[in-house]
Amino acid sequence: MNGSIVKKNNWFTGLFPKTKVDWKMYILKSLPIVIGEILFCLNGFLDNFMVSHLNYGIDALTYANTWTGLIYIIFFAIQGIAAMYVGQYYGRKMYDKVNQVMNLRFWMNVFFVLGFAIPSWSITDLMITSVAGKTISPLALEQARWYLIIITFSWLITCYNFNTNMLLNETGHSNYAFISATLTLITNAAINATLLYGFKLPAWGAAVGSICAAFVCLISDSLFTYFKDRKIFMSPLKIFFIKKMIAIQICKKIPAMLLTILAMGTIPLRMVLWARAYPEQSIGEPWMNISGVTVLGLVESLASIAAAVTGVCSSNVSYFVATHLGNSEFEEAQRRSQELKGFHTICGIFVSIIMIGVVYGIAYASMTSSGVAKTITDKFKNDSNVTPEQLNTMVEQGIAEFRKNFINCSWTFIGFNPIWCWFYTSLALIRSGGESIIASIALLGGQWSMMIWHVIICFAIVKYTNITLPVSYFLLFSWDFIRWLLYEVIQLKSNWKQNITKETEIDKQLVIEK
């Protein structure tokens, strides 16, 4: 009995760093990554927020950026399967192999991006309506069309700079990644403000800002790696240098990567379901022209900012756990893994508290609901049956309806964010020792079961009960309790504490070559 109590206490206390030195080390490594990830996600929110004054501006960007979201899911999947190699090879000072992993990661990014960019240029309207449905308004379609065509060039640039930015985080240079993210956000905000408010350009002006920001990130990342840690500098002149053995080692993880993409690809597809469950004119009164996408376009952008703290999970596991696994220091890796779970969860709670103020600040900012107000005004300003006083009242009612749904939906991601931090750390730990296929299967099962639950909500529960959008949104994420349990059991049962640099005969040949 007493032994059981001691064991439980040890497990609980093991979730937190033991010394001030450890706390300081985790904070110093994590804070730049978390802030950098938030700044990175702010670029997406910034585009949505800065077009909120345009008729159907938020809707248009949400439809187009569903594909951008899918692209980033692919980037993260590719980064995730290769991060363990970067961490373990970097820990063993095998820098030439780190460079080869980076080169292969870049070409995999390019391959997938072209698969989306070419259709976006050739069948643009179909790409938009496949997300929004055929009932999309002509104005929203026009805005989304040009934004999608232009934003694809940002995807191509990001094939390179996403890779280098993750490299900085994975190798302990998160402070430089943070500076790059800051420069990127400032560039995007400045150009968006100039084009959208100065030159009064339509929504595609935000895409131009994203392209310029991507260039800034590419240049700054390259300069930092070249001057601060040249041995891992990703030279554009050597991006074709990939030895056969490294290619084989990484390509063995492609099934795990594809499973991850198939799993995480359900996230941007959620907007397709919301667009059909809550189409235009379905929220509030029909004349308000508010859809689920109008509300969730901003909510999901803010959710990605709050969940940016989960981006530190993979990088920290790569740096604090995988480097020890690469040196066969399994007890130290186990200790770090427990501490990271608790530390990441605390980070999630802290970010959620901050997001409460952010959500209310944005909700009551006049710019946020100006698009809704403008749509109502344009619709009734020439209607002789509506007096100016009545029009003002209608505008106020529309703004209040939008604000209510926005705030109530936001409480869901605020509450679930710490849970996401915990179970994404568990998945990263499974991958860190080479069990990528197990982690990917777990992720696939969790995400697709959640997608089935989402379909039931949208096409059965909403259809026959007319529940509100905030209630539906909460019901969807209530499934995360099941995912949390699933990932914990799998991590507990899997043999993730392995040194993958010595795992196979191929890896032994790589060591001999060095």
Residues 334/497, Cβ–Cβ less than 8 Å: yes
Q: How far apart are the C-alpha atoms of 312 and 307, rounded to whole Å?
A: 10
**Predicted local distance difference test score (pLDDT) of residue 166:** 85
Q: Which amino acid is at 33?
A: I
Over 50: is that where the pLDDT of 514 sits? no
pTM of the model: 0.76
Highest mean pLDDT among 54-58, 145-149, 427-431: 145-149
Domain ranges in the chain are 8-272+290-513
**Predicted local distance difference test score (pLDDT) of residue 431:** 77
What tokens appear for 291 in the block?
A: 């859809």
Cβ-Cβ contacts under 8 Å for 81 (sequence gap 6 or more): 250, 253, 254, 256, 257, 260, 431, 436
Q: Which residues pair with 283 in a beta bridge?
A: 290
Give the pLDDT mean for 46-51. 83
Query: What crossing angle do the helices spanning 266-277 and 254-264 adopt, rounded to 10°?
Result: 20
**Predicted local distance difference test score (pLDDT) of residue 416:** 95
Give the pLDDT mean for 214-230. 92
Q: What angle do CA 268, 272, 276 make, to 5 degrees?
A: 155
| Tokens 């998945």 -> residue | 427
Count of CB atoms situated within 10 Å of the CB of 189: 17
**Predicted local distance difference test score (pLDDT) of residue 326:** 73
Q: How far apart are the C-alpha atoms of 420 and 37, rounded to whole Å?
A: 15
**Predicted local distance difference test score (pLDDT) of residue 160:** 92
Over 60: is that where the pLDDT of 18 sits? yes
What 3-state DSSP class applies to 55?
A: coil
Over 90: is that where the pLDDT of 212 sits? yes
Highest mean pLDDT among 66-80, 111-125, 130-144, 492-506: 111-125
**Predicted local distance difference test score (pLDDT) of residue 449:** 95
Q: What percent of the chain has pLDDT over 70?
A: 94
Looking at per-residue pLDDT, the higher value among 509 and 101 belongs to: 101
Measured in whole angstroms, how far is the alpha carbon of residue 66 from the centre of its chain? 12
Q: Which DSSP helix (H) or strand (E) runs through 64? A: helix 57-91
Over 50: is that where the pLDDT of 505 sits? no
What separation in angstroms does the CA of 361 have from each of 126, 186, 347, 356?
A: 36, 20, 21, 9
Of 242-246, 276-280, 509-513, where does mean pLDDT reach its minimum?
Answer: 509-513
Over 60: is that where the pLDDT of 438 sits? yes
Looking at per-residue pLDDT, the higher value among 324 and 216 belongs to: 216
Q: Which amino acid is at 420?
A: W
What 3-state DSSP class applies to 290?
A: strand
Over 90: is that where the pLDDT of 388 sits? no
**Predicted local distance difference test score (pLDDT) of residue 384:** 79
**Predicted local distance difference test score (pLDDT) of residue 513:** 47
Give the pLDDT mean for 203-227. 93
Highest mean pLDDT among 6-10, 277-281, 503-507: 277-281
Count of CB atoms situated within 10 Å of the CB of 511: 12
Residues 469/287, Cβ–Cβ less than 8 Å: no
Give the pLDDT mean for 131-146. 89
**Predicted local distance difference test score (pLDDT) of residue 10:** 65
pLDDT tens track for 281-296: 889 888 888 889 889 9
Highest mean pLDDT among 87-91, 99-103, 308-312: 99-103
User: In whole numbers, what is the pLDDT of the chain averaged over residues?
Assistant: 86
Query: Environment class of residue 493 by beta-carbon count within 10 Å: exposed (0-12), middle (13-18) or buried (19+)?
Result: exposed
pLDDT tens track for 328-357: 788 888 888 888 898 999 999 999 999 999
Q: Which residues pair with 290 in a beta bridge?
A: 283
Give the pLDDT mean for 216-226. 93
Residues 315/33, Cβ–Cβ less than 8 Å: yes
What 3-state DSSP class applies to 283?
A: strand
Q: Which phi and psi (to 5°) does residue 252 adopt? A: -60, -20
**Predicted local distance difference test score (pLDDT) of residue 308:** 79
Query: Environment class of residue 495 by beta-carbon count within 10 Å: exposed (0-12), middle (13-18) or buried (19+)?
Result: exposed
Q: Which amino acid is at 274?
A: W
Of 1-15, 263-277, 376-390, where does mean pLDDT reach its minimum?
Answer: 1-15
Over 90: is that where the pLDDT of 427 sits? no
Give the pLDDT mean for 249-258. 85
Q: Which of 313, 403, 417, 413 has the alpha carbon at shortest distance from 365?
A: 403
Query: What crossing angle do the helices spanning 436-456 and 469-477 adopt, rounded to 10°?
Result: 150
Looking at per-residue pLDDT, the higher value among 36 and 261 belongs to: 261
**Predicted local distance difference test score (pLDDT) of residue 511:** 44
Query: Environment class of residue 388 by beta-carbon count within 10 Å: exposed (0-12), middle (13-18) or buried (19+)?
Result: exposed
Q: What percent of the chain has pLDDT over 90?
A: 37
pLDDT tens track for 58-90: 888 888 988 998 998 899 888 877 877 887 788
Query: What crossing angle do the helices spanning 266-277 and 57-91 adopt, rounded to 10°?
Result: 160
**Predicted local distance difference test score (pLDDT) of residue 11:** 62
Q: What angle do CA 53, 204, 43 make, to 5 degrees?
A: 75
What tokens appear for 489 in the block?
A: 């059991």
Looking at per-residue pLDDT, the higher value among 486 and 37 belongs to: 486
Q: Which of 303, 359, 362, 297 has the alpha carbon at shortest distance from 140?
A: 297
Over 80: is that where the pLDDT of 377 sits? yes
**Predicted local distance difference test score (pLDDT) of residue 220:** 94
Q: What angle do CA 485, 76, 350 make, to 5 degrees?
A: 60
Residues 146/204, Cβ–Cβ less than 8 Å: yes
